[in-house]
Amino acid sequence: MKILAIETSCDETAVAIVEDQNFQPVVHTNVVASQVAVHAQTGGVIPNVAARLHTENLPRILREATKAPRRDYQPKGTFGGQLDYDAVAVTVGPGQVGCLLVGMSAAKTIAMSRNLPFYAINHLEGHIYSAWIGQDPPELPALIVMVSGLHTELILMERHLYYQHLGSTRDDAAGEAFDKVARLLGLPYPGGPPLAELATHGDETAFQFPIALEENDSLEFSFSGLKGAVAHQVAKLPNPLPRHTAADIAASFQKTVSETIKKKMLRALHVYPGIKSVCLVGGVAANRHLRTSLEQAINANHPSLRFVVPDLKYCTDNAAMIGAAAVYHHLFGHVDDWASITADPNLELGQP
């Protein structure tokens, strides 16, 4: 079963073809058109601009993702036709409703016109199944540590397609905090990568920032207080900030975020001792400091557990992860009626 997958939930126009091979997703093509350069000019995603860019980009990305590779005997500049597929999958939420509708309209049209099976995929479920791409699959039960721009949460996954929420953020997600602190330090949007780069030049012990919700039984997160503490510290320092001071703040902030997530992860592993794998997923999973911090904590405290992080190209929004989730919908017989599916910007994980 080859699945054409489409992702347009926010500011990445993405299409992939993913196949079920031996009960595992295999990626044939994965094409992404980023809108970062456009939204960097306004310091954030403008929903109607993002939707318009999806409309402009999607036809081209569909062509690229379904284009068969050129054979050696063909003249340069020619291609071997179009890649075929047997089903269509698309992100239906959560996300920006106008953006979701662009991808859904295309996916529904293709499924209807070709009479193909249709899979409606939750964007967060796509991030979870990014951990199943290109490697030995994580063993279940698994603890999912999801860290992205809008979501920071712990999820217990005891079997495929079933999720138990253990804890989530009460306010800002970790990715939001990265963007807001980066703005305080005068760094460009999106703030995660430049802040992480700046932090490599700083002293992570220079500033002591608070970790919220440290009570023993809490698996929830809060990053608004951390963001406020950084803002308060920056307000007391010279303007403009010397680069070495900004680097120290970036490093100390990044360490606090990693420590917060690490403590909650270890607490969840203590409360749920049957877990066999830990999967770090989401856009912020690309942060090297966070990856290293969690891996070292697992090796030191739970050496028998497997720690899984997707390749960097599958951490940020992409269609391969949507196709990977659709593979498991196919394997477990969860086919959707395209005519009855609507976009839901607030769709919760596990919600039909």
Q: What digits encode the pLDDT tens for the residues 209-247?
A: 999 988 768 999 999 999 999 999 999 999 999 999 999
Residue 345 belongs to a domain: no
Can you give the pLDDT at residue 75?
Answer: 45
Q: Supply the range of the domain harboring residue 223.
A: 142-310
Q: What is the pTM of this model?
A: 0.94
> Does 81 have pLDDT greater than 90?
no
Residue 63 belongs to a domain: yes
In total, how many domains does the chain have? 2
Residue 137 belongs to a domain: no
Cα-based distances in Å from 279 to 139, 153, 269, 318: 10, 12, 12, 18
Which residue, among 309, 337, 317, has the nearest Cα to 5 in the 3D structure?
317
Residue 351 belongs to a domain: no
* Same domain flag for 58 and 90: yes
The DSSP string of 204-270 is TTSS--------TT---B--HHHHHHHHHHHHTS-SSPPHHHHHHHHHHHHHHHHHHHHHHHHHHHH
Can you give the pLDDT at residue 72?
Answer: 43
